[in-house]
Amino acid sequence: MTVVVLAGAMARRLGASRSGQLLAAAATAICGFTLGMGHLLSTSTLDLLGWTALCLLFLRIVQGADSRWWLVAGVVAGLTLQANVLVGFLLVSLVVALALVGPRSVLASPWPWLAAAVALAFAAPYLLWQADHGWPQLDVARGIARGDSGSSASRAAFVPLLLLEVGPWLLPIWGWGLARLWRERALRCFPVVFALLFAVFILTAGKPYYLAGLFPLLFAAGAQPLVDAARGWVPALLLVLSLPAVFVTLPLLPVSAVDPVVAVNYDAGETIGWPELVRQVATARAGLPPGTPILTGNYGEAGAIDRFGPTLRLPPASSGHNGYAEWGHPRGSVPALVVGIDQSVLDRVCADVRTVGRLRSPSDVDNDENGARLSYCTPAGTWRSLWPRLRHLG
């Protein structure tokens, strides 16, 4: 909701009438990025909010507002960095864009550099932790580029996926926004920021949603020109044609009908069936020795067990996936119930392993857990010594 309101506020600053403001807000609300990130609480949710707020602040600054607004931007950037480091790309690209096309005068005062110092102070604990641990964030980025993430996209698919995830019928609004921003010299830095980040994220094999935080501004810039140029029913038609995004991003369809959605929205599949998954894990564990720990292949499975497991008397799960690995491994060398770890990995860490079941998602939804093996693993050493083999990023 806040992102939608900020989009309307940016349209107002750009001179839009009430109808233009409403169109900017409605386009932002129906955009696949907003729907998807607003539905799931993740790092990208806060990232989208931070980018949108920063775009409004930067818009004020390049339009001639008091330079002390830079300090506000520095605080917002610092808070956003606590959730996601992608905002750093926005900050660097803005400085480059201002140096290339202006208005360069906004960089002449000390305020933007004080703002950078504020943002860096917020980021310092993260940077120190990364340096002390060998920069694992770079390993995650390389894994995403290799396609290790379930939502990784190839370079060739970047543009089609971007258009699809934003909403193809919204292209006239944000496309017009890019053109409008380019025509105004004081605002020309924003299309350059978009172009720079577009190129960077394609070259580094990033994900299309990395650009999500720029679209509220683009909708705000393009809404009024479209209202002025098109017949009154055209903006409404574009919004109506974009409504199917609601069914692709929000849990509105019955589980039996979601396979086509999962094919284009990986995260939708990974939110289905967690209570059922945990009950199946509990059933398998009931046939094992009391006190058997649980080890999962990814942080989603571990999170589901930690969320729904206590009512079924399950212990907290362990996982070597990403940051979950920092919360520890099973104790000693006690055998564990393993959820969804590849056999090739188990062959390297288990002295003995046997299958005790398989997971089944509701309606056989095609997600990572459907058909995943439940195994009883006797470790070939202590879990502490084996943990490096189980840790993985991506």
Over the stretch 223-238, which tens digit does the pLDDT of each residue have?
A: 999 999 888 888 899 9
Q: How confident is the model at residue 150 (pLDDT cuts 50, 70, 90)?
A: low
Domain endpoint, select from 249, 284, 318: 249
The reply to whether 211 falls in a domain is: yes
Query: Looking at beta carbons, which pairs linking 163-166 to residues 24 or more positions away fall under 8 Å?
Result: 164/32, 164/264, 165/32, 165/33, 165/36, 165/208, 165/209, 166/31, 166/32, 166/33, 166/215
Which band of pLDDT confidence, cut at 50, 70 and 90, is reported for residue 4? very high
Is the Cα dihedral 159, 59, 78, 268 positive or negative?
Answer: negative
pLDDT tops 90 at residue 281? yes
Quick one: 240 and 279 in the same domain? Answer: no
**Strands 373-379, 350-358: pairing kind:** antiparallel
CB 115 within 8 A of CB 78: no
What pTM, to 2 d.p., does this model score? 0.87
Out of 249, 277, 297, a domain closes at 249
Q: What is the pLDDT of residue 254?
A: 85
The more confident residue out of 210 and 255 is: 210
216 and 284 housed in the same domain:
no
Q: With 70 as the cut, is the pLDDT of residue 151 above it? A: no
Is there a single domain that holds both residue 49 and residue 90? yes
In this prediction, residues 146-164 reach a mean pLDDT of: 79
Position 95 scores a pLDDT of 95
**What does the pLDDT average to over 207-228?**
94
How many structural domains is the chain composed of? 2
CA distance 142 to 130: 15
pLDDT of residue 148: 67
> What mean pLDDT is predicted for residues 103-124?
93
Q: Indicate whether 35 belongs to any domain.
A: yes
What is the pLDDT, as a whole number, of residue 310?
A: 95
Q: Does residue 140 sit in the same domain as residue 52?
A: yes
Do 236 and 111 fall into the same domain?
yes
State how far the Cα of 268 lies from the Cα of 251, in Å rounded to an integer.
8
pLDDT tier at 136 (50, 70, 90 boundaries)? Answer: confident
Same structural domain for residues 162 and 63? yes
The answer to whether position 107 is within a domain reads: yes
Whether 120 is covered by a domain: the verdict is yes
Q: Are residues 228 and 305 in the same domain?
A: no
Q: Are residues 61 and 178 in the same domain?
A: yes
- Which tokens hold the place of 267? 């995260």
What pLDDT score does 318 carry? 95
Say if residue 154 is in the same domain as residue 220.
yes
Which of residues 220, 249, 278 is at a domain's end?
249
198 plus 277 within the same structural domain = no
Please check whether residue 43 lies inside any domain of the structure: yes
Residue 258 resides in a domain: no
Give the structural domain span for 324.
Answer: 269-390
Structural domain includes residue 279: yes
Whether 225 and 84 map to the same domain: the answer is: yes
327 plus 219 within the same structural domain:
no
Residue 254 counted as domain residue: no
- pLDDT (mean) for 348-367: 90
Q: What is the DSSP letter of 187?
A: G
C-beta separation of 212 from 33 below 8 A: yes
